[in-house]
Each structure stands twice: as C-alpha cells, then as structure tokens.
Amino acid sequence: MHDASQSGAGRNHETPQLGAPQMRAVRFAMLREALALAWADMRRAPVFGVIFSSAYVLIGYLLAMITWATGQSYWLVFAAIGFPLIGPFAAVGLYEVSRRLERGAPLDIYKIFGVVFGQSKRQLPSICAVIIIVFLFWFFLAHMIFALFLGLSTMTNISSSYEVYFTANGLTMLAVGTAVGGAFALLLYSITVFALPLLLDREVDFVTAMIVSFKTVTENLLPMLVWGGFIAGATFAALLPWFLGLFITLPLFGHATWHLYRLTAVEGSTRG
C-alpha cells in the first residue's frame, strides 16, 4: 500500500499545500493498486457514490428523452456544456470522500459538499471553462467534417436512415471524425486526469495543474493510455444497460483517479 495517508496525517486537512508536487513514474502496478483502493472506498462509503453518480444518470435520462421526443440531436450540445460543468465538481466530491477515508477524517456530508461548493471560489471553474471550449470546438469541427464529406450528398434523415454512412464518403467521414475526436479526447484526458485531483489537494493555478497533468501523461504514455482506454471502454459499457452501470463505474474511477494521483505525487515537494 502507498504511504500517502501516513505522510499526510500530520497536515491540516482543510489547508492545501502550496505549489505542485513532483510526479513519480506511473507503473502498471500502481493502476491495479488505485483500483483496489477505489473499490475499498466504494464499499466503505457507497452512499456518496450513488449521490454523485445520480447527477450523471439523471441528466443522461433527461437528454435521451428530450432527444427521442423531439428528434433533434442538437440537445447533445447541451450535454457538451452541462457535463463538463457538473463533472469536475462531482469528481471533487468523490476525491474528497477518498481523501477523508485516507486520513481517517469523518465522512460529514455537509463538510464534503462544503468542499465541493467551495471549489467554485478556487481554480475549478477555470478548468471547466477550458473543457467546455475544447468540447464546443470539437462540435464545430465535427460539423465541418460532416459538411466536407457529406455536404453534397442527397439529403437524407441520418437519424432514421444509416445507409449514407456506408458510402465511400460516409466511411471516410467516420474514419476522419473518429481520429479527430480521439485526438480531442486524448487532449482533454491528458490535461485533466491529474489536474482535477491536484487542484483539490494543492493551492495551485489551473494552468500549472494542466501542465503537470499533461507532462505526467506524456512521460508515462503507455500505462496512461491503457488507463484511459480502460476507463473509456468500461464507461461505454456502463451506458448500455440504461446508464445504470454508471452507478458503479463513475464512483470507481472517481476514487481510483484520486488514488492514482496520490500514488504518483511526491508528498511535500513542489515545482517552481
């Protein structure tokens, strides 16, 4: 087990350290340990996993119902804006639960939500804004890619007729769109996977947090790509049974992200 709880035990829980930590190399064994610690946290505090996952599931149901009823996929734009707004705050709630379990602090729901809402006065809204900008830029590019390859095709209802996707232009569009979307997903993953827990743990600006996260991912590319692929695959599978799998995957990966950060960050050290 890692020594984060012992090394941080003497620190005031409510007072973040200043500056970003040095980051260790990420090993595959650390990924397994982070998952094991996350599973233990889920079993010790299952109610919080349900609370923070409910926001995602309810919004998912709402958007699915509206899209189905109206037949308008533009509602997905609201998902691109809404999920990045609530996602980091829900993640912080899970990080805070893990942090309190790690340090033997009481799981006071009022204090946990106080920490979550308190992030609105720190750096979290700034990183949310960056995520939204990247999402909206991807939506713009996705429409451009669609227009480039299928703009001159015979008009068809792509919501009910999928033949257009199996044409030469349709397959090319899917390939290009997937590649570009994957690049955006990798960018967002790289700048946030360590930045979000870092912003809770330390008093540091969001630009520094994103740089630390990006540098850590690029320096440990293979294990971090495996980690990101595992999270993406499991989350996609969790969506299939009416979003219900998210009640397991979201808290599991939320707690695991905190523990992977704690396993990677060198306690007590700072950059610059």
pLDDT value of residue 26: 97
pLDDT value of residue 4: 47
pLDDT value of residue 79: 60
Q: Is the pLDDT of residue 8 over 50?
A: no
Can you list the alpha helix ranges (DSSP code H) found in the chain? 4-8, 28-44, 46-70, 75-103, 109-118, 124-150, 168-192, 195-201, 206-219, 221-239, 246-264
Q: Picking from 22-31, 161-170, 239-248, which range would have the lowest pLDDT averaged per residue?
A: 161-170
Q: What burial letters (b/e) apply to 153-165, b meaning 16+ CB within 10 Å?
A: eeeeeeeeeeebe
| Angstrom distance (rounded) from CA 206 to CA 198 | 9
Q: Is the pLDDT of residue 9 over 50?
A: no
The gap from C-alpha 10 to its chain's centroid, in whole angstroms, comes to 30
Provide the residue ranges of all domains of the chain, joining segments of one domain with +: 26-129+182-264
The gap from C-alpha 45 to its chain's centroid, in whole angstroms, comes to 20
103: left (phi over 0), alpha (psi -120 to 50) or beta: alpha
For the chain, what is the radius of gyration of the CA atoms? Answer: 20
Q: How far is CA 84 from CA 47, 58, 59, 91, 194, in A?
A: 23, 15, 12, 11, 16
Nearest in space to 116 (alpha carbons), one of 136, 133, 99: 99
List, for residues 34-85, the tens digit of each pLDDT value.
999 999 999 999 999 999 999 888 877 777 787 777 766 655 656 655 566 6
The gap from C-alpha 135 to its chain's centroid, in whole angstroms, comes to 13
| Angstrom distance (rounded) from CA 104 to CA 184 | 38
pTM score = 0.84
Query: Which tokens go with 244?
Result: 């219900």
Q: What burial letters (b/e) apply to 42-68, b meaning 16+ CB within 10 Å?
A: beebeebbebbbebbbebbeebeeebe
List, for residues 22-44, the tens digit of each pLDDT value.
999 999 999 999 999 999 999 99
Q: How far is CA 196 from CA 25, 27, 111, 172, 248, in A?
A: 19, 20, 19, 35, 20
* Cβ neighbours around 32 below 10 Å, total: 10
Pairing of strands 17-18, 202-203: parallel
Q: Which residue has the higher pLDDT, 167 or 253?
A: 253
